[in-house]
Structure 1
Amino acid sequence: MKFYDRVQELEILHEIEALSNEYAQMTMIVGRRRVGKTTLLRKAFTKTPVLYFFIGRKNEILLCEEFVEEIETKLGETLGAFTSFAQLFKVLMQLSQRKNFTLIIDEFQEFKNINPSLFSDMQNIWDTYKEGSRINLAICGSIYSMMKQIFENSKEPLYGRATTKMQIRPFEINTLKEILADNHPNYTQEDLLAFYLITGGVAKYIEQLVIRKAFTKGKILQTVLSPGSYFLNEGKDVLIEEFGKDYNNYFSILSLIAASKTARGDIESTLNMPIGGYLDKLENEYNIIQRVRPFMAKEGSRNNKYRIVDNFLQFWFRFIYKYRSAVEIGNLEYIHQVVERDYETYSGYILEKYFRCKLAESKAYLDVQGYWDRKGENEIDIVAINDYEKQMLIGEVKRNKGRINLHILENKANEIVKRYPNYQIEYKGFSLEDM
């Protein structure tokens, strides 16, 4: 698949590479698995020799052997043997005093399983040799909680050492449209919605669909729900390592959120257990869910709902994990029938998210939210506000344009409009036709 977008990220990385010719740079890059971090880094650095170290779970001495071979091939240096990565990193920092090069360390958090003392060793070596060093060190990780702990916990040795921090996010909607147009110029709005519903802009999922030429709604769902599909175990593959031995509780919570039990009380009553700690970690450590308040609600309001941030994980918990017994006996046709039965309602929910994302990506608004009253009624799909220009857009989203009723929407919005008397209010309907 050809390389798409990432214009802003490439500009930042090019600038960092240029700076490294005079000053040592340490860039921490995070992003969910499969989002395209490694591909981006390999594409970004072109002015310096690039060393790429992937931290697999193997003996440290064997890792060093691989890395020495990479160094000798790329930099033309003869180094000998090493028994620890700390020794090798020290030599690289010394070498960078006379050579400008890039070192990418991928899945850096895995050192915690291989040799936890390495982080302290790296801190000492970095602090000792960074003056006069010309290294462009790019440290990349996909387990969000562990990378955050390593670099942002003030008690950890590498705290404060990164000169730049980047979070790589999924592709925006315009990029998804470009990819579809390149591969299937006659795509329909239904195709675009299915493409967004499954991939959410995650590069690896897009690549899987491109490889299989799955660009229509029918072919996309068939690809995801076919025997041996890449997608069937993907939720488990991505998250079990994050959650560890407690993963069953986390999976149960996420499954309920995906099934529209989005209030804490509803989840706790179903599971018959307190879940505050789990929700806090899912939101703040793992970055998997988002707590949303209705527009105008104050910080600390208990009128909250929870959403799964990632489109694919939302789909996986709603349909694949929930019906995992059917997966285990190979009855994927059963799941396919359930998806088709529920698709109109479920894709309508994703369509709301699509338009909220589209408005946010337009950069025309300070905030884009939804609204519901204290009773959970009078729901409004979109409230987008621009404080600078005193403008507000209040929107209703329906798959079928004929079901949009702006008069009802105006009545629902009375409480909001009263609070913003000096704002220009626009009421707007969004449907499949507007994608």
Structure 2
Amino acid sequence: MVIGRKEEQEMLLSAAQSEYSELVAVYGRRRVGKTYLIRETFGYKFTFQHTGMANARTKDQLFSFAISLRDAGYDDCPTPQSWLEAFSLLSHFLKNSTDEKKIVFLDELPWMDTPRSNFISAFEHFWNGWASARKDIVLIICGSATSWIINKVINDHGGLHNRVTQRIALQPFTLKECEMFAKSKGLEMSRYQIAECYMVFGGIPFYWNLLEKGLSLAQNIDKIFFVRNGKLKNEFNLLYASLFKSPEQYIDVVTALGRKKAGMTREEIITATGKPSNGALSKVLDELEYCGFIRKYCGYGKKTKEAIYQLIDNYTLFYFKFIQQNKNNDEHFWSASIDSAMHRAWSGLAFERLCMAHTQQIKAALGISGVLSNIYSWRKEADENGEGVQIDLLIDRNDQVVNICEMKYSLSEFTIDADYERNLRNKKSAFIEATNTRKAVHITMVTTYGIRQNSHSGIVQSEITLEDLFA
């Protein structure tokens, strides 16, 4: 059963019902559920399907392709000596298929593009010279190396330019979808626990599938990450190596970003990593953004060249904070640290990232889904006139309102005291003074269980709770 993904399934099925041949590109972060979505949508029935091999030579890739053709029913299929020949054999097989609509699924396509293999030119010739000239082919290509699919296929300026008829950028689950997934597995979890789990895993279905019934969330996290053979103990290196051919430079950038919660400008990244300011760095940043590891945003009132890059991948941040630092190999590390200051500090920052991933739900709760608005962050550096100010989530609305969103994670209602009220007033006045905005500026609190009403809570114009984020 596919959880959520209704729109994506409809796109795949509409391609199968089209009167013309369709080239569909499905891409997204490793473990986000691309292959599962495609297989479930078509009931695991394809005219032909093949998966590229990781780190394999061209000769082995071609041999594997021939095996897939034989498995599909091409019994006497020879082993091709080139990709041009391989796609010629595929077209021969499809020509003889009796399927009314021939669904072809090529998974992990980027892995097939080995050096000097001429894979792209052969693939392009197959689509342009044969498949697109028919009306009965649905070619679905898929891969975790999102940057490869975007650069080599979707944004290609050669023979594949504008050839993709449908593109599906598969996103991680929302909180609501994670809740549906947990229920489908029979996991008894409160929304507070689901939120904490999201703060560790993000909305990555594969990670959620590792949770076991009968164990507490803390026990599950220990078992998945911290025991000797934990299933995600070595996920970090596998994750980046599966997506990028030279993962070290990507890891250098995310490591630098992992040290600065508010994010960094391009110049700050150059200083932190020692990398030259050239096209190679731009490529690394673009590809990390394509894959959903970082976000690029402009500060309120700032120019594009002053954009901030921020690490937002929950698993990567959890790895840097706890797994990489777990030098003692404590198999009960998470259970033992639940009430620690370190855990509390992490949960506050992780909840902010959770909120950033659910801005659509925040806007819906504010009743402004239909109002044109932009999401920003804003910061003012400390100077001789006062302390620095950081606002992680600003909603700039076309109805002449700006929402300053403050995000607080707590076990019960959040209490605003005199000091925090003063902090909010200073933050609001600093923003108004620095930006000269003429819009109304509202303080919005995003908390787990709401705000406790007291003499200081009147500063808040609107409240969003964890319940709202599950919409």
TM exceeding 0.5: yes
Alignment of 1:286-435 (within 5 A): 286-287=288-289, 288-301=293-306, 304-321=307-324, 323=325, 326=327, 330=329, 340-361=340-361, 362=363, 364=369, 366-375=373-382, 377-387=388-398, 389-400=399-410, 401-403=414-416, 405-406=420-421, 408-414=423-429, 416-417=431-432, 419-423=436-440, 425-433=441-449, 434-435=465-466
Summarize deviations over 1:236-287 as a string: whole Å, max 9, x none: 0011244444x33432332232122733555555555546656523321232
- Once the two structures are TM-superposed, the CA of residue 95 in structure 1 deviates from its matched residue by 4.1
Distance 1:134 1:253 in 2: 45
Distance 1:86 1:117 in 2: 12
Q: Is the 8 A contact 2:312 2:353 kept in 1?
A: no
Aligned to 2:226: 225
Change (3 A) 1:47 1:205: closer
Q: Is the 8 A contact 1:194 1:220 kept in 2?
A: no
**341-350 vs 284-293, which moves further:** 284-293
Alignment of 1:75-114 (within 5 A): 80-83=77-80, 84-92=85-93, 94-95=95-96, 99-113=100-114
Root mean square deviation, CA, Å: 3.2
- Once the two structures are TM-superposed, the CA of residue 153 in structure 1 deviates from its matched residue by 4.5
Change (3 A) 1:195 1:276: farther
- Once the two structures are TM-superposed, the CA of residue 55 in structure 1 deviates from its matched residue by 1.4
Aligned to 2:217: 216
- Given the two structures, how large is their TM-score scaled by the length of structure 1? 0.84
Change (3 A) 1:334 1:99: closer
Summarize deviations over 1:273-318 as a string: whole Å, max 9, x none: 54665652332123232233322323222xx543223211221233
Distance 2:280 2:287 in 1: 10
More helix by share: 1
Alignment of 1:168-183 (within 5 A): 168-181=170-183, 183=186
Summarize deviations over 1:394-426 as a string: whole Å, max 9, x none: 221122412574553243123545744354x43
1:37 to 34, 37, 52: 34
Q: Is the 8 A contact 1:48 1:101 kept in 2?
A: no
Q: Is the 8 A contact 1:198 1:311 kept in 2?
A: yes
Q: Is the 8 A contact 1:258 1:315 kept in 2?
A: no
Amino acid across the alignment from 1:44: T
Aligned to 1:132: 134
Distance 1:426 1:269 in 2: 36
- Once the two structures are TM-superposed, the CA of residue 15 in structure 1 deviates from its matched residue by 0.8
Q: Is the 8 A contact 1:150 1:159 kept in 2?
A: no
Q: Which runs of 5+ in 1 are unaligned?
A: none
Distance 1:345 1:276 in 2: 36
- Once the two structures are TM-superposed, the CA of residue 371 in structure 1 deviates from its matched residue by 2.0
Aligned to 1:238: 239
Amino acid across the alignment from 1:29: V
Q: Is the 8 A contact 1:200 1:311 kept in 2?
A: yes
Change (3 A) 1:379 1:89: same
SS of the aligned residue for 1:285 comes to: helix
Aligned to 2:16: 17
Q: Is the 8 A contact 2:145 2:244 kept in 1?
A: no
Change (3 A) 1:335 1:356: closer
- Once the two structures are TM-superposed, the CA of residue 50 in structure 1 deviates from its matched residue by 4.4
- Given the two structures, how large is their TM-score scaled by the length of structure 2? 0.78
- Once the two structures are TM-superposed, the CA of residue 60 in structure 1 deviates from its matched residue by 3.7
Change (3 A) 1:402 1:290: same
Change (3 A) 1:132 1:415: same
- Once the two structures are TM-superposed, the CA of residue 219 in structure 1 deviates from its matched residue by 3.3
Change (3 A) 1:157 1:96: farther
Distance 1:124 1:29 in 2: 20
Distance 1:89 1:5 in 2: 33
Change (3 A) 1:91 1:291: same
Aligned to 1:164: 166
Distance 1:256 1:318 in 2: 13
- Once the two structures are TM-superposed, the CA of residue 47 in structure 1 deviates from its matched residue by 11
- Once the two structures are TM-superposed, the CA of residue 18 in structure 1 deviates from its matched residue by 0.7
SS of the aligned residue for 1:284 comes to: helix
Change (3 A) 1:335 1:89: same
- Once the two structures are TM-superposed, the CA of residue 40 in structure 1 deviates from its matched residue by 0.3
Q: Is the 8 A contact 2:225 2:323 kept in 1?
A: no
What is the percentage of aligned positions where both structures have the same residue? 18
Q: Is the 8 A contact 2:226 2:330 kept in 1?
A: no
Distance 2:388 2:219 in 1: 35
- Once the two structures are TM-superposed, the CA of residue 90 in structure 1 deviates from its matched residue by 2.4
Aligned length: 417
Distance 1:383 1:309 in 2: 17
